[in-house]
Structure 1
Amino acid sequence: MTKLLLSILLFSLTAVRSYAGGIDDIRQALEHSSVSQIQEKVFVHTDNQCYFVGDTLWYKAYVVRADNLQPTDMSRILYVELLSPDGLVVERQNIIINSQGYTCGQFTLRDSLYSGYYELRAYTRWMLNFNVRHHRYRRDETWSFYNKQMAADYFRVWDGLYSRVFPIYSKPEEAGDYDVRSMYQRPKTRIPKQKKEDLIVTFYPEGGHLIQGVENRVAFEAVNQHGEAANIKGTLSADGMPDMEIKTEYMGRGSFTVTPSDKRLKARFTFHDKEYSFSLPKAEKEGVAIQLEDNQVTIHMRQLLPECEYGLSVLCRGKLKYFTGITGFTSTTSSTSLTSTTRITLPIDSLSTGVNDLTIFDSNGQILADRLFFVNRHENDGNIVTAEIDPTHTYQPYEKVDIPVQLAATTEPTVFSLSIFDTNTDEPTYNDGNIMTDLLLSSELKGFIAYPAHYFESDDALHRRHLDLLMMVQGWRKYNWAELSDTARQMRYQPEKGMTIEGYVYKMLSLNEVEPDEILNWQDGVGVLGRKAAEEQDPVDPFGDNTDSEDALLSSTDEIPDMEDTWTSASTFEYGSIGNANDHLGVNHGNLRHEVLIEAELSVGGVFVGGVQKTEGGHFLFDVPPFYGSAYLNMKAYKENDSIKKSMMARKDSKVLDEDAFPDFYVKREVFFPMYTHDYTYYEKHQPDYTDEMLIDTVSEFSMENDVHQLQNINVKGRRRGRRAIDWKKPAFVMDAYELYNEVTDRGLSFGKLDMRQFPVQVCKYLYGNMNRYVKFNVDGRIDGSTYYRNYSPVTNGASDAEKAGIFRANRTSQSLYKKLKLKRLQNIRVFSDYEPRTEDSTMVVSSLLADATVEMETIPNDGVQPSFRDRHIVFRGFNMAEDFYQPDYSNRSLDEKPADYRRTLYWNPNAVTDEQGRFTATFYNNGKETRIRMTAAGVTSDGRLMHSK
């Protein structure tokens, strides 16, 4: 079998900028960015390594400056999120970072959660300035948003945020029975195609380029179709050169040295009795090749411009550590080229421990070669947290336990986090790192690093070799050299010091009002596009701004005509595809031309706090006093000359509680939370102890069948493949309807007023983006057990009458549906879909005649209603409060009085404090059974030392 794969590390060459002072200007720019563009990093210590539905996940978060790893003095708010296996946010917490750079909290893993692999993600707003890119989207997809900027903001993807994946198992059928760990994943209607066995090999020339006529070192990485490392060997060949044996050394990585000609190199491997062939890219005639051995860099430059200056820089976590011009070349000339070679010795002793980035560049700021390498000066080796725990000792039920803990090299009281837990549910994991391995290594690289502790367990030649191979197969840079050398770069976000309400005001668009009689046509994908014109009218410019005109906008105080009087018959309506109902609005709407007043009122526990300000370029920013829990936020915008009758304090606005009325302006909060996440790597969702066959079965069959997955005794029951009925009891996503409407509005998908015609599609676009497709996806709307809405035609043009009659149709009156679809009647939105944003569903079979997602409107029981508003009415989240960990005291209880105790985490203290000699004693009571225990700990001192347990 021959498979051609062209994969090579290519660094983007930025547009050439002018540096009048040559490389000295670049040096000054890098020195400046070492201060102005310091990144922050997060590490989260959790109380356990796996959880069960119904547990509480306790965490301690450490936020540090990237340049010196000392506690941050920048941000004071951290966002911690729990994401589902599908990649949707289950819960987001806003927590205060104290002056020592740490904070703590907890997630309650409620019973309604599906079991599976969940992600813990954490970041500050300042961190969102860096490592951002865009998910693929088409130009016409921006038309669903108010303007292109809102679309671009939605489709942003961040790399390098803190992320950790852990299993959450199903709740035991019998309380406390943790011996069998099961996963009941959510049911789906269609089974994806299985990946065929494959070998994927990616080649990484050292420095980023393969250069003709000079010695190049090339690293490579081999994985199978699931991303699992493949240890292989093969041959490298080219016309005119003998075959060279190449092989992997560790975790599917290896390297070879070759001097390429103008002939293509080809690598051949045998994997599982199949032959694979890979062509390397054609070597370049000019450029730079580098080789780093210990502290010496050999630089080969071929056919470069002699009038340019060339330099070398070394950055560590974004801070400039070394800079020099490149001189002292030894040149060799052939009939076809000029090659210059020089060697530079790096001052390793003055570099920082961690991942360092070596860059070769010219005086125009163009990167010619780039390479990561790791420096370990061992200053953190002694920062160990130890405990007097005998792993073979068994503690008796309810026994009082005292565990002495010692922090090494500590001469003052030190705060650290400590967890002690039952080893009965311990399981092997590829994530065996700690705060030191994470902040120094794993967080500097893209993707998950399996067995990070391996690279620190010894400093011998073998482990250094394995670590260097890891450095060479990285094509991503956490600290972008081109951005760091750009003195004109502006930061979009500033470090947050407190809560704010920020956003923009836009003109209100003239949405077509929903005619109740049209709703029965929605199930066929048909809706009202507008009213037929009685006579010729002047065309309206959809891009124009008429905010100065007295009658340009429907004011909230204007009387809205009764719909039965105005829309007298169906003949006055123009019908068409429901997806085209807003075409008359135009696209890419601009900002306000004239400033307005924006008013905000916050209700916290019966106390009202409010303010009014005039927009600046449509922008507003309110400072919010800190509070815990939730509050109600009301916002509205109006013209300055309407302030007397529109002010909230005046209480003269009679249309406030009328959701059918049009607001004067579209008020949109500035939201920055990431919508996208990454797919799990093989090593994040698998465990070392289990066989390959068992793991693959787990991923393929069980993920689609609603059966039991037992990790210790795998039992996969397959069914005949095909489409299954939707299980209406098990949605993929559930959210409060009003809250979801607000989220859709703040993302620019809804324009300040509920649009019943588009709401089901808006919900799906908010959750799923474009489903990673090049065509639109189909959406059904459902209420009271019936389908009332489709954004597509459920039959083809040539369908027979019998086929048309077979389409399921809602049996409801139009007026009844119209009333139930209002915000005041809706309680929850439940979404059903096979699509998983995390995996982007690349193998899912789709149909143009079936729904890809179903949005179910769940009404308030017993015809209940809730207040609904014309203007923005939002549940505003304050800070989350850390609770106290439950630790029972059995000292005064008799055996008969002692309750059933199934705790797995026996002791959790996020803020343990040592004495001046670094000593601490953890005291607790065992659970209700015989137990062996283990400990994990983490801490960061004020001078940046990383306290860690092994």
Structure 2
Amino acid sequence: MALSKVFIIKKVPQLILLSGIVLLNSFNLISQNTLQENKPAIPNIEKVYLHTDRSYYNIGESLWYKAYMVYGYTNILFDNSNVLYVELISPDSKIITRNITRLETGLGHGDIKLSDSLGISAGTYQLRAYTNWMRNFGNDFIFKKEIEIFDLKKNETYDGENIVSDIPENNEQDKIHSKENIKPFNIQFFPEGGSLVEDVVSMVAFKATDNKGNPVTISGLVFDTNKNTVARLKSTHEGMGIFRLTPTKNQQYKAEIQVADGKKLEVLLPKPEKTGYVMSLKNYKGKHVITIATNEETFKQNSNTPLTMICTTRGITYFEGSQVLNQQNASFLLPTENIPEGISKITLYNEKSIPQCERLVYIEKDHKINVSITPNKNQYEPKEKVILNISAKAEHENPLTASFSIAAVDKNGIEDGEDYTTNICSYFLMESEIKGSVHNPGYYFNKANPNRLYDLDLLLLTQGWRDFLWKTLPEIKDSLSYKAEKGFKISGIVKELLGKDPKENHNVRLILINEEGESIMLDDTTNVEGRFKFDNIVFTGNSTMLLNTQNEKGKNRGMFILDSITQPPVAVDYKKNNSISSTKSNTIEENIYKKHVLFDVPVMNLLDEVVLHGKKTDGIRSKYGLADHTYIPKENSPNFRDIYQLIQFAIPGISVSGNTVRFSRYNSPTLIVIDDVISEMEDLEFVIPDDVAKIEALNSSRAAIFGSRGANGALVIYTKEGSGGSSKRNKTFHSIVKEIQGFYNARIFYSPNYDKPAKDIFEEEKADIRNTLYWNPDVHPDENGKAEVSYYNSEVDTTVKITLEGITDTGIPIVVKNDYTVEN
């Protein structure tokens, strides 16, 4: 990645008038070659974001998501890992469910059915997503988002005809919440640049929160040791604010803080340093002016020593220079032309490369792109068709290459100003850079908020001051423990049955059969350690895995010891014992419940998204695909003297000669599979006819599932559980049959088509009060930068919020919102 050129500082009169200080003439360039030589190797950092249709759900609804995986330094879609683990974690730190989502060129999607069977109850859950590769760099890059889940059933009873509401009225709810005690609050002070220095003017930011991390509005006074008032403070946004302070010698400062109810708290400010530097930043007409200031004592001690300034973004250095200060105060412009959008860290070092102060700054860019999502009407009737027109244009009206996901949801009484949850812009450009949870992160990236950049700077001065993620480049170890997964790995060891010695040169055959009967067949040969490996396997949904091993003579021999097929989950660090109680949550829950009451719909009968089933197939389903013939004994089935007589009765076109079974169409014996174990022909004699539960015959091309071993067809026999017949045979270790889970088979979002007649009376009479009206994770503009999607409204009079999120091929995250009303 190219580094920016040094920025030569010119004398700018208006800046002198602005700051009242002297400008540096130049910031000497540290050669680009030196930077490249000293720059540590850059690891492949992945970041992932999940766009969900909503952030609140009722039990029984579905959560829909789209995954965007990007290269951590550029935010460009990254095709490194293809396996993404998506987990829902309960308030008491339990993993409720886990989807393994397939990523292709950095994109993937899926859904989670929030059913009672998962043990879900009302509360705040955590949705998280990560790859195996991310484990190499700790938990900092794991995506985490809070999801609120309601249980509307607790508020109603149903007498068979009508809903009887038990939910309190608004005033009752208010009384309940008013009884809660005011929570204690905490306040922290953050001198700009890191430290207070005696006799140097400093800006001091602060942040006040309650014991749950929620912002608290405060005001107060700052006193010196002699109890003189030296500053006033008042929070201006989310419990944050800033004030000016000039510390003097031998003073310790204290703030007296007051909250709205009159309660007070005294807090000591950080103790001023006797020597040091203060670095401040101001935005003047779109230019970032950095000021370095120090006191007389520090200046005398370091009058001829250079200071080095380094600016990095997401761990990459974009500007570096050094300068000897010839005044106590000096300023320069930060060259932002080649610095990418996002949070940059500016650090000042002394001649010994010891950090003196640090400042975070958000660099915003005008990308000159225009993305819009426009409904064909501003107002609709219930159940009316909606057409959304998407336009994505770059500069000069050139079509924009991007991938989008779209959600249309019932706002359920929530105004735009109350809905500032995480979005793709706030996550990739800010939240993923700062440790800890950011309150209302979407606020800072809504251009309708005129003070958003000022308030974002406050956030960086406070929370970002102590918890910036990219303080150091993630360490690269010689051997990374966790590999980037392209697919599933099935591996293990084949050893001798009654010993520990590995079996070398054994053939291992793997067969995977999914629910549609599609199969994968692979072969490997064990090495000197007896190891085999099938790597980067791609399969979807529940599948049957068959493993069989044979020695060099083609005999079934050996014993399997399997490795784990999927990676264990990352340790859970989420704990959320509080129940949902915010004003926003209460409003949503109450409005959803009112819809049920208004339309007389019991909660369990909510018209939700349905599963679209796959293609229909003819024939009888088998673990091994479609069987050509299947026999299941009935109560009136005749008695047989041995298994060979039963086979001849049950399966047409089969012949028995002595103890050898073959299909008439083939000249050689058929393959025998007993209880999912590939067996020898002589094993048949141990099967008792009365113990047989089912026989399947694959005597056509369908037997190819077994590879060359199925060249003469296959006879699959299942015995009854616990039957004496099966126990007479020796237990086999050379074969394994196991149900395993592949990539999650994502459902297709479904909404009714009211231009077509209902399929049945039940569907026609069922009230449509959906909360998510439309979800599409796969929207891509055409060669003209256009796209169009459509769906049908529910039958509720409401306001619908449309949200488009996505990312361009150059790594620019996009969020676009629009509203329309539905009124009868």
| TM-score bin, normalised by smaller chain | 0.5 to 0.7
Once the 2 structures are TM-superposed, how far is the Cα of residue 443 of structure 1 from its aligned partner?
Answer: 2.8
Once the 2 structures are TM-superposed, how far is the Cα of residue 24 of structure 1 from its aligned partner?
Answer: 7.8
Match of 1:227 among 192, 195, 213: 213
* 1:441 and 2:349 matched: no
SS for the counterpart of 2:371 is: coil
**In structure 1, distance between residues paired with 2:227 and 2:213:** 32
Quick one: structure 1 residues 170 and 596, their matched pair in 2 at CA, closer, same or farther if it must change by over 3 Å? farther
Once the 2 structures are TM-superposed, how far is the Cα of residue 374 of structure 1 from its aligned partner?
Answer: 0.8
**In structure 1, distance between residues paired with 2:795 and 2:37:** 62
Once the 2 structures are TM-superposed, how far is the Cα of residue 448 of structure 1 from its aligned partner?
Answer: 2.9
Once the 2 structures are TM-superposed, how far is the Cα of residue 230 of structure 1 from its aligned partner?
Answer: 1.3
Corresponding residue for 1:85? 91
**In structure 2, distance between residues paired with 1:488 and 1:307:** 39
Quick one: structure 1 residues 287 and 427, their matched pair in 2 at CA, closer, same or farther if it must change by over 3 Å? same
**In structure 1, distance between residues paired with 2:228 and 2:152:** 60
**In structure 2, distance between residues paired with 1:681 and 1:257:** 39
1:355 touches 1:374 (CA, 8 Å); kept in 2? yes
604-613 vs 940-949, which moves further: 604-613
2:425 touches 2:445 (CA, 8 Å); kept in 1? no
SS for the counterpart of 1:348 is: coil
Q: Which amino acid aligns with 1:283?
A: P
* 1:317 and 2:314 matched: yes
* 1:935 and 2:770 matched: no
Match of 2:136 among 115, 129, 140: 129
Corresponding residue for 1:299? 292
Q: Percent identity among equivalent residues?
A: 25
Corresponding residue for 1:70? 76
Q: Which amino acid aligns with 2:144?
A: S
Quick one: structure 1 residues 105 and 98, their matched pair in 2 at CA, closer, same or farther if it must change by over 3 Å? same
Q: Provide structure 1 residue ranges, at least 5 long, that are not aligned to the other structure.
A: 1-20, 133-157, 183-193, 332-339, 506-553, 560-591, 637-642, 657-662, 696-708, 715-860
Pairing of 1:704-723 with structure 2 (within 5 A): none
Corresponding residue for 2:35? 27
Once the 2 structures are TM-superposed, how far is the Cα of residue 88 of structure 1 from its aligned partner?
Answer: 2.0
* 1:267 and 2:255 matched: yes
Quick one: structure 1 residues 277 and 237, their matched pair in 2 at CA, closer, same or farther if it must change by over 3 Å? same
Quick one: structure 1 residues 65 and 199, their matched pair in 2 at CA, closer, same or farther if it must change by over 3 Å? same
SS for the counterpart of 1:949 is: strand
Corresponding residue for 1:703? none
2:315 touches 2:472 (CA, 8 Å); kept in 1? no
Match of 2:456 among 425, 448, 467: 467
Q: Which amino acid aligns with 2:363?
A: V
1:387 touches 1:406 (CA, 8 Å); kept in 2? no
Quick one: structure 1 residues 600 and 292, their matched pair in 2 at CA, closer, same or farther if it must change by over 3 Å? farther
Q: Which amino acid aligns with 1:106?
A: D
Q: What is the TM-score normalised by the length of structure 1?
A: 0.56
Corresponding residue for 1:204? 190
**In structure 1, distance between residues paired with 2:304 and 2:456:** 38
Cα offsets for 1:890-911 (capped at 9, x unmatched):
3342798524153332222211
Cα offsets for 1:353-397 (capped at 9, x unmatched):
22111122346554332221111123267334343452xx35234
Corresponding residue for 1:407? 392
Once the 2 structures are TM-superposed, how far is the Cα of residue 470 of structure 1 from its aligned partner?
Answer: 0.8
SS for the counterpart of 1:483 is: coil
Quick one: structure 1 residues 389 and 251, their matched pair in 2 at CA, closer, same or farther if it must change by over 3 Å? farther
Match of 1:886 among 750, 754, 759: 750
2:511 touches 2:521 (CA, 8 Å); kept in 1? yes
Pairing of 1:853-892 with structure 2 (within 5 A): 876-892=740-756
Quick one: structure 1 residues 713 and 358, their matched pair in 2 at CA, closer, same or farther if it must change by over 3 Å? same
Pairing of 1:207-356 with structure 2 (within 5 A): 207-240=193-226, 242-243=228-229, 244-260=231-247, 261-271=249-259, 272-294=261-283, 295-300=288-293, 302=298, 310-325=307-322, 327-330=323-326, 341-356=329-344
Once the 2 structures are TM-superposed, how far is the Cα of residue 875 of structure 1 from its aligned partner?
Answer: 6.0
Pairing of 1:5-154 with structure 2 (within 5 A): 27-28=35-36, 31=39, 33=41, 36-99=42-105, 101-112=106-117, 113-130=120-137, 132=138
Corresponding residue for 1:778? none
Cα offsets for 1:827-886 (capped at 9, x unmatched):
xxxxxxxxxxxxxxxxxxxxxxxxxxxxxxxxxx99999999999998653211222222
**In structure 1, distance between residues paired with 2:326 and 2:142:** 44
Cα offsets for 1:311-340 (capped at 9, x unmatched):
222122233221112x13035xxxxxxxx5
Q: Which amino acid aligns with 2:215?
A: A
* 1:674 and 2:570 matched: yes
**In structure 1, distance between residues paired with 2:779 and 2:114:** 25
**In structure 1, distance between residues paired with 2:109 and 2:43:** 26
2:406 touches 2:805 (CA, 8 Å); kept in 1? yes
Name which one, 1 or 2, has greater alpha-carbon Rg.
2
Cα offsets for 1:33-63 (capped at 9, x unmatched):
4xx2353322222223422222222211122
Q: Provide structure 2 residue ranges, at least 5 long, that are not aligned to the other structure.
A: 1-28, 169-179, 514-518, 595-720, 818-824
Once the 2 structures are TM-superposed, how far is the Cα of residue 627 of structure 1 from its aligned partner?
Answer: 0.9
Cα offsets for 1:159-207 (capped at 9, x unmatched):
342222122222546699899999xxxxxxxxxxx99832201122222
**In structure 2, distance between residues paired with 1:61 and 1:178:** 41
Q: How many residues align?
A: 617
Cα offsets for 1:2-39 (capped at 9, x unmatched):
xxxxxxxxxxxxxxxxxxx9998983367554xx2353
Pairing of 1:381-780 with structure 2 (within 5 A): 382-390=370-378, 393-397=379-383, 399-409=384-394, 411=399, 415-424=403-412, 429-432=418-421, 434-458=423-447, 462-473=451-462, 474-476=464-466, 479-483=469-473, 491-500=480-489, 557=498, 604-605=512-513, 609=522, 611=524, 622-631=534-543, 651-652=556-557, 671=567, 673-679=569-575, 687-689=582-584
1:236 touches 1:245 (CA, 8 Å); kept in 2? yes
**In structure 2, distance between residues paired with 1:883 and 1:948:** 25
345-354 vs 454-463, which moves further: 454-463
**In structure 2, distance between residues paired with 1:946 and 1:371:** 25
1:385 touches 1:947 (CA, 8 Å); kept in 2? no
1:54 touches 1:111 (CA, 8 Å); kept in 2? yes
Q: Which amino acid aligns with 1:319?
A: I
Corresponding residue for 2:773? 906
Give RMSD over aligned pairs.
Answer: 4.9
